[in-house]
Structure 1
Amino acid sequence: MSTATTDVVVTPVSDREIHMERDFDAPVAKVWDAFSRIEKLSRWWGRGHTLDVERWEFRKGGHWRFVERVGDEAWGFEGRFAEITPEKRIVQTFEYDGAPGHVSVDTTTFVDLGDGRTRVLTDTSFHTPEDCKAMVDAGMATGLSEGYRVLDGILAEKN
């Protein structure tokens, strides 16, 4: 069963896997740039909130760490890159400071739809069904949709 949360289509694949997809009105190269260049990624990843980039090593084995801030509240996230295939795929781990040790693996694939459009597919695998349910219940799809709406504006910019 697929459900649309805001504008990201979310499909449970199993009790430990989620598939998400979203189309963008921009060519693959421009969407890839927004995922791989920290000066662009930092503008949308935190949904428009302040995002402190504590580490950004965009290479296989590289470590990333962000802290999103809203007022006096802060949420930390980090992971490592397992695979980077330019304009095709990024595989990385994801861990939230609020749930240490509960690491998921995200595989993000970029599909050229032609006509200057790109589909971004993200498959997330969790260690346990409980981890999967907790992330879904925490609003994973809503947060991603909010970030992608900010990304739409960045992709619409001329540069």
Structure 2
Amino acid sequence: MTEAAITTPAEREIHIERVFDAPLARVWQAYTDPDLIAQWWGGGGEKVVVERMEVERGGHWRFVAHGPEGSDGFEGRYREVTPQERIVQTFEWDGMPGHVAVETATFTDLGDGRTKVTTTSLFHTTEERDGMLSSGMEHGLNASYAALDALLAKES
């Protein structure tokens, strides 16, 4: 399994890079189609209900992951959507209301059937960034990306 490269280039940022073995159009679709999101977001082990997903500037998104220990809700607003290039959105977890990060995801066609997704999350404070890093986020992210790999391989 390929792990995401996770770095902290600035006091309030988390930078993530991951290459997927699929063309840009398929990776973009996996990020923007509610039926596909429900299959990989959260690692694929829990049931994810996509309550809202309005992929447009100002649109609202909300996902709820249902696991053995209860449910976790996540939501935000799309600030920018440039098809097959970039998504800028807010990200908030129900467990920490009021702590909102701004995530910028860019999608790069590597020209060989692979796509690089680069995500930068900007937090309000360094403490919020460090809280996210210590929350188990890296494990959850890599589980989600492994589930996305499996979905992309199945669709090829």
Question: Which residue matches 1:84?
Answer: 81
Question: Which residue matches 1:3?
Answer: none
2:93 counterpart of 1:99: no
Secondary structure in structure 2 of the residue aligned to 1:45:
helix
Indicate the RMSD between aligned Cα atoms, in angstroms.
1.1
Aligned residue among 58, 62, 65 for 2:59:
62
Secondary structure in structure 2 of the residue aligned to 1:46:
helix
Runs of 5+ consecutive residues of structure 1 not aligned to the other structure: 1-5
Letter in 2 for 1:131: E
With over 3 angstroms needed to count, the CA separation of the structure-2 counterparts of 1:14 and 1:26, relative to structure 1, is same
Matches of 1:122 and 1:114, distance apart in 2 = 20
Question: Which residue matches 1:20?
Answer: 16
- For residues 136-155 of structure 1, what are the alpha-carbon distances to aligned partners after superposition, in whole Å with 9 as ceiling and x for unaligned? 00022221110000000110
Q: Which has the higher strand share?
A: 1
> TM-score, normalized by length of structure 1?
0.93
- For residues 78-102 of structure 1, what are the alpha-carbon distances to aligned partners after superposition, in whole Å with 9 as ceiling and x for unaligned? 0000000000000000000010000
Deviates more, 1:45-54 or 1:81-90: 45-54
Secondary structure in structure 1 of the residue aligned to 2:42:
coil
Q: Which runs of 4+ in 1 moved over 6 A?
A: none
Matches of 1:77 and 1:63, distance apart in 2 = 11
Matches of 1:112 and 1:141, distance apart in 2 = 24
Question: Which residue matches 2:143?
Answer: 146
Question: Which residue matches 2:35?
Answer: 39
Secondary structure in structure 1 of the residue aligned to 2:96:
coil
Runs of 5+ consecutive residues of structure 2 not aligned to the other structure: none
Question: Which residue matches 2:130?
Answer: 133
Question: Which residue matches 1:112?
Answer: 109
Letter in 2 for 1:88: E
- For residues 41-80 of structure 1, what are the alpha-carbon distances to aligned partners after superposition, in whole Å with 9 as ceiling and x for unaligned? 1110121110112211111100011110112411110000
Q: Could you tell me whether the CA contact under 8 Å between 2:9 and 2:15 is conserved in 1?
A: yes
Percent identity over paired residues: 51
> TM-score, normalized by length of structure 2?
0.95
Letter in 2 for 1:18: I
Q: Could you tell me whether the CA contact under 8 Å between 2:12 and 2:124 is conserved in 1?
A: yes
Secondary structure in structure 1 of the residue aligned to 2:110:
strand
